[in-house]
Amino acid sequence: MRILLDIAISLFLTFIGIVIALWYENLGSPKLEITPGKTTDDVKDNGWRTRFLHLNVTNKPKKRIPLVTRQTASSCHGTISFLTLDKKQAGKAMPIRWDGNPEPIIPEIIDNKIVYLPDPRLIRLSRYIEIPPDETESLAVAIRIHGDANTYGWTSESYFHNWRHPEYELLPGEYIVRVCITSGDNIFRKDFQFTNPETFDAFDLKH
């Protein structure tokens, strides 16, 4: 009987030790906060005027606690889905492209002119990023080009489709953008609403 009691106590203490270890590790684990970013309105080198919708992703682990290491959010990657206001998905989910990663294009000289061609090898690289504690990275959600009434989801493959990926084309209307980001075993989700109106300058996220 004494042996069984010792075994039970040993198992209980082992269980408590595992719980404490997991709790301690969780204190410094990455916590991603997803917020609206700045909508950029620029004229590109090819003469296109564009508006890009952006989101910011900040790693905000718990406040500094003695002896607790605040962790980097590693290999952050994920998807963006577009939904109608009644929550029906419009098209398929697209992989995130992080603004801070290189564009998946390389310069080539053709007919004595420098042109930029898509490089499939850089596509995977553009989908993953590290976010240290208290640092922020941004990602583009969608693009609208002046003179085009439709908007297009923005991903690395957009460079292969003249910036207008047909699988992520959205007609004028109201939409929800759903972002889902994975880092390690953690998944972070957030919804935002935006409108693709008739007026180009009104293309923006709803804050």
In the chain, domain spans: 31-205
- Going 187 to 203 to 45 to 158, the CA torsion angle's sign is positive
**Which one of 3.20.20.70, 2.60.40.10, 1.10.246.90, 3.40.50.150 gives the CATH number of domain 31-205?**
2.60.40.10
pTM exceeds 0.85, yes or no? no
Question: 123, exposed or middle or buried, with CB in 10 Å at 0-12, 13-18, 19+?
Answer: middle
Q: Report yes or no: 97 and 140 within 8 Å, Cβ to Cβ.
A: yes
Average pLDDT on 80-99 reads 93
| pLDDT tens digit sequence for 10-63 | 554 454 444 344 344 554 578 999 999 999 999 988 899 999 999 999 999 876
Average pLDDT on 197-204 reads 94
Count of Cβ atoms closer than 10 Å to residue 188 Cβ:
18
Phi and psi (nearest 5°) for 90?
A: -100, 105
- Helix or strand (DSSP H, E) at 126: helix 121-126
CA distance linking residue 93 with residue 167, whole number of Å: 9
Residues with Cβ < 8 Å from 142, sequence gap 6 or more?
52, 53, 82, 151, 152, 153, 154, 168, 170, 177, 194
- Pick 18 or 111 by higher pLDDT: 111
| pLDDT tens digit sequence for 114-152 | 777 778 888 888 999 999 999 999 999 999 999 999 999
Residue 87 pLDDT exceeds 90:
no
Residues forming beta bridges with residue 114, ordered by sequence position = 109
101-107: long-range pairs with CB below 8 Å, 24+: 101/125, 101/126, 101/127, 101/128, 101/129, 102/126, 103/159, 104/156, 104/159, 105/159
